[in-house]
Amino acid sequence: MITGKNYIGNDLKAEGTVTFKTFNPKLHLDNNTLFTEASDSEIEDAANLAQEAFKEYAKISGNERAVFLKAIADEIMALGDSLIDTYMSETGLPKGRAQGERGRTVGQLRMFANLVETDNWRELKHDEAIPDRAPAPKPDLLKMLIPIGPIAVFGASNFPLAYSTAGGDTASALASGCPVIVKSHPMHAGTGELVGSAIVKAAKKTGMPNGVFSNLNSKGIEVGTKLVQHPKIKGVGFTGSIKGGRALYDLAAKRPEPIPVFAEMGSINPVIITQNALLKRGSEIATTYAGSITLGAGQFCTNPGLLLGLKSDHLSDFITELGQKTIENEAQCMLHPNIQHNYIKNGAMVSSQNGLEVIAEYDQVLEESYAPSKIVTVNGAVFLENPKLHTEVFGPFSMVVQCDNEAQLLEVIANLDGQLTGTIIAEKEDYDGLGALVNTLQNRVGRIIFNGVPTGVEVCESMTHGGPYPASTDSRFTAVGPDAIKRWARPFSYQDFPKELLPEILKE
């Protein structure tokens, strides 16, 4: 049952005066539940509980935390159709997407549970003492990763499960030994409360300290702002816009004690297609990329918003076919009217720039909240001269840049903002000439895909989901995969410590 209240630790509370409802973009009407935004005193209570919980939670064994994480996964699955139905009513996304995202969410929880059952992730190091070393003795040193403290996690608009209440940020932070306070996304507060109830139920069942998790409702930015500024919060996880992520980053930097903000933000995910690939399979590539551009109404952080190639008849034919196949795909409902509004506004702004040509635009009558797909093109020189053409248009929109030669193509890539992904579509005969392209692209992205599409992020050890700013605020870390846990830990050393006083994991 959804109450519209906040989880302040294990307790449901609704002391605030600001209320709101979520919105069903398919039916274009408000959902029934009235949610209450967390009050200042509730934010304070959640932070205090998290700090107290940290004292105990940071010290419990990895096995105990693993049991907790697995219990969360089980409780999410036990929510059954109520979770799926709520997800669909708040997003307009289909049942298959809801079920798939739920599967990814519980899979991530179980992955982190398996990770922390051993202490290998803590990177234990030992340098033995050499007391008779000259000119100075060497001390005995042990090093390990330890959790940094309570973490504020911001739910993402486009992934109500996998990047939100019990998503990758929360799962990795809890796995590391850090309590979590989630600032639930207002577009899917009901989904967030249901998942929050599963986490609280799991915490009680497994004996976790009260305050290890809280879930706060928020209509606007005030709750999130106060969380990031709270002195007991020691780190932030965010997935969303450049504007939102940068605002949190700046707030955290201005604190008396600055804290890390791990924000995944904007990305247009450049795709480079060689002449040989266009010649051999241009039609196939157009079909594949039309599907990728429109997948989920283009509401993926890895949506291919920019395609690059060298001017030629083959590229011209490809652009025409890509445009036609893109608009042939059925229009889809976007997550919220505000997202659809921003898509239309940003798409119109980019399309109005001098030198840009609209190749194809979906022109059928659309229901409210639905997104008309669009393909545009521009030459390399114009793209380089106009920064507005680099704007991310979040939705089923993609731009093809026609470059005069390879030098201009490399210049375009080198002048892009940091990106989550870059993709190369090429043939074997291209391999010898791809060195400069790979090197240039590597400096601008977190992951290079070869002969594939960027949409789709595998959750595994080798995945990097991050990249140079503004793709993320710290390109040294990934938001996906087991290594995401390292965002919430810091290295710590014990020097010349008696064995009796060391943590159990170091006594061996």
Phi then psi for residue 407, to 5 deg, are -60, -40
Give just the sign of the alpha carbon dihedral 472, 475, 479, 484. negative
CA distance 467 to 462: 14
Contacts of 463 (CB under 8 A, 6+ apart): 447, 457, 478, 480, 481
Residue 158 Cα distances to 97, 371, 494, angstroms: 11, 15, 43
CB atoms within 10 A of CB 508: 9
User: Of 148, 102, 144, 106, whose CA–CA distance to 124 is shortest?
Assistant: 144
User: Of 474, 501, 506, 499, whose CA–CA distance to 488 is shortest?
Assistant: 474
- Cis ω before 147 (30° cut-off from 0): no
User: Of 5, 16, 71, whose CA–CA distance to 40 is shortest?
Assistant: 16
CA distance 33 to 55: 36
CA distance 151 to 237: 7
- At residue 308, the 3 state secondary structure works out as strand
Based on the residue annotation, tell me whether 264 is a catalytic residue of this protein.
yes
The length of the chain, given as a count of residues: 508
User: Of 408, 501, 498, 496, whose CA–CA distance to 131 is shortest?
Assistant: 496
DSSP state of 508: -
The strand pairing partners of 371, in sequence order, are 332
Give just the sign of the alpha carbon dihedral 158, 264, 466, 323. positive
Secondary structure (H, E, C), 458-490: CCCCCCCCCCCCCCECCCCCCCCCHHHHHHHEE
Based on the residue annotation, tell me whether 403 is a catalytic residue of this protein.
no
Q: Which two tokens stand for residue 223?
A: 């709750």
DSSP state of 187: G
Active-site residue, from 37, 75, 178, 301: 301
Q: Which two tokens stand for residue 298?
A: 């283009």
Residue 307 Cα distances to 210, 291, 427, 492, angstroms: 50, 14, 17, 45
Query: β-strand 332-333 against 370-371: which pairing, if any?
Result: antiparallel
Active-site residue, from 264, 321, 333, 392: 264
Q: Which two tokens stand for residue 505?
A: 């994991």
Residues with a known catalytic role: 264, 301
